[in-house]
């Protein structure tokens, strides 16, 4: 009976072909088969180091068909090495399905550590952290990405993710808006390659830097954000400010619709808030008129002070203001009556 094969998860270079361990090279030479994400890409590595082991394709789109074939070979005693185009398989790359199936069948799974863009970027970012949250790739769809970032805004820790070059600018814009322009961050681009770039700054300046130089949107990215050092933007205040301006000329529904487009927030929530602001505005005008009626004989300075203090609920201050002038005291109702009048009108 043939001995059972082993599945080796081999880390390969992330750019510089010399970043590979002696053990990894030995494994790749000794195994019976190498399952590679892209055989053409991996052949550059095998040719450089004189590795003649056969290569077979193992990609996202064919892994469901490839897994049973590889499991059969492993069960028959063949050793298989799984590699990806760069770094370690099964981490934001295909491989987890095969590894899980191997575990289920009792086939030994052996990790062979190698180069990692994640750890390389973290070691050179200069951010001290006790906790790190790795996110893989952010969701490609904007609404999903923004939802994820809104959730992360409440996490006071360092988080790291990969990003594709064609989404880098849009992701930075979303981060500036949702996490804050002053949030410390690092862009690590093309790690270990000729055009390796590590840029540390806040999110706002990083966005300006990328927009000013189109070359900085090329290649592969690791993004590190120190959310513990972020000054969180007040989204509710921004929404209120925009709604209040628009409600001067527009209906609550129209104001909510436009504000939703500007801030990317849910329209139904903004509509309810617009109704509240509209009602508050009407109430404020109403009890301002009531004050005008009751305080007509007063000096306008005292009227203003009384109005502001009564609005803030400062009863003792109101009492002192009422005692300022006995001349007009007889023309006023009692403080209790005034409070009753104010309460009736909605304060």
The H or E element that residue 9 is part of is strand 7-10
pLDDT of residue 294 exceeding 60, the answer is no
- Domain locations along the chain: 7-115, 118-229, 234-279, 295-347
pLDDT of residue 292 exceeding 90, the answer is no
- In DSSP notation, 196-241 reads -EEEEEEHHHHHHHHHH-GGGGSS-EEEEEEGGG-----HHHHHHH
Return the pLDDT at 59. Answer: 93
> CATH number of the domain at 118-229, please?
3.30.950.10
The H or E element that residue 83 is part of is strand 80-83
Return the pLDDT at 241. Answer: 79
CATH ID of 7-115, from 2.60.40.1170, 3.40.50.10860, 3.20.20.70, 3.40.1010.10: 3.40.1010.10
Question: Are 153 and 232 in contact, with CB atoms under 8 Å apart?
Answer: yes
Q: What is the mean pLDDT of residues 78-104?
A: 94
pTM reported for the whole predicted model: 0.65
Query: Which of the four pLDDT bands, split at 50, 70 and 90, describes residue 316?
Result: very low
The H or E element that residue 124 is part of is helix 117-124
pLDDT tens digits for 151-168?
A: 888 788 899 999 999 999
Gap between the Cα atoms of 20 and 304, Å rounded: 76
Return the pLDDT at 278. Answer: 82
Could you give phi then psi for residue 87, rounded to 5 degrees?
A: 90, -145
Return the pLDDT at 277. Answer: 84
pLDDT tens digits for 18-39?
A: 999 999 999 999 999 999 999 9
Q: What is the mean pLDDT of residues 203-218?
A: 93
Q: What is the mean pLDDT of residues 106-110?
A: 97
Gap between the Cα atoms of 45 and 11, Å rounded: 12
Q: What is the mean pLDDT of residues 58-78?
A: 95
DSSP 90: T
Q: Smallest Cα–Cα separation from 63: which of 35, 32, 102?
A: 35
Gap between the Cα atoms of 289 and 293, Å rounded: 6
């Amino acid at each position: 009976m043939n001995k059972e094969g082993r599945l080796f998860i081999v880390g390969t270079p992330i750019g510089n072909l010399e970043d590979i361990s002696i053990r990894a090279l030995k494994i790749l030479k000794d195994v019976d088969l190498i399952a590679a994400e892209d055989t053409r890409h991996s052949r550059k590595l095998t040719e450089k180091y004189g590795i003649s082991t056969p290569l077979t394709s193992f990609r996202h789109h064919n892994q469901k068909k490839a897994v049973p074939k590889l499991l059969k070979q492993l069960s028959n005693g063949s050793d298989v090495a799984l590699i990806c185009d760069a770094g370690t398989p099964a981490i934001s790359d295909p491989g987890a399905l095969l590894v899980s199936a191997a575990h289920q069948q009792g086939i030994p799974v052996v990790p062979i550590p190698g180069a990692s863009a994640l750890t390389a970027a973290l070691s050179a970012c200069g951010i001290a952290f006790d906790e790190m949250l790795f996110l893989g790739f952010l969701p490609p769809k904007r609404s999903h990405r923004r939802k994820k970032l809104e959730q992360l805004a409440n996490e006071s820790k360092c988080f790291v993710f990969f990003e594709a070059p064609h989404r880098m600018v849009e992701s930075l814009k979303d981060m500036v808006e949702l996490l804050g322009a002053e949030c410390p961050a690092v862009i690590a681009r093309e790690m270990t390659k000729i055009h390796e770039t590590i840029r540390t700054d806040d999110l706002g300046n990083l966005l300006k830097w990328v927009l000013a130089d189109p070359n900085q949107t090329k290649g592969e990215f690791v993004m590190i954000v120190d959310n513990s050092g972020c000054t969180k933007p007040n989204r509710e205040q921004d929404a209120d400010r925009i709604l209040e301006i628009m409600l001067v000329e527009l209906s609550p529904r129209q104001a909510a619709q436009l504000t939703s487009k500007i801030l990317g927030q849910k329209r139904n929530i903004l509509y309810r808030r617009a109704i509240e602001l509209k009602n508050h505005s009407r109430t404020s005008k109403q009890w301002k008129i009531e004050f005008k009626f009751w305080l007509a004989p007063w000096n306008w300075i005292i009227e203003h002070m009384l109005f502001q203090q009564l609005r803030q609920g400062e009863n003792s201050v109101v009492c002192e203001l009422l005692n300022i002038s006995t001349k007009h005291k007889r023309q006023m109702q009692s403080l209790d009556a005034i409070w009753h009048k104010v309460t009736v009108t909605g304060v």
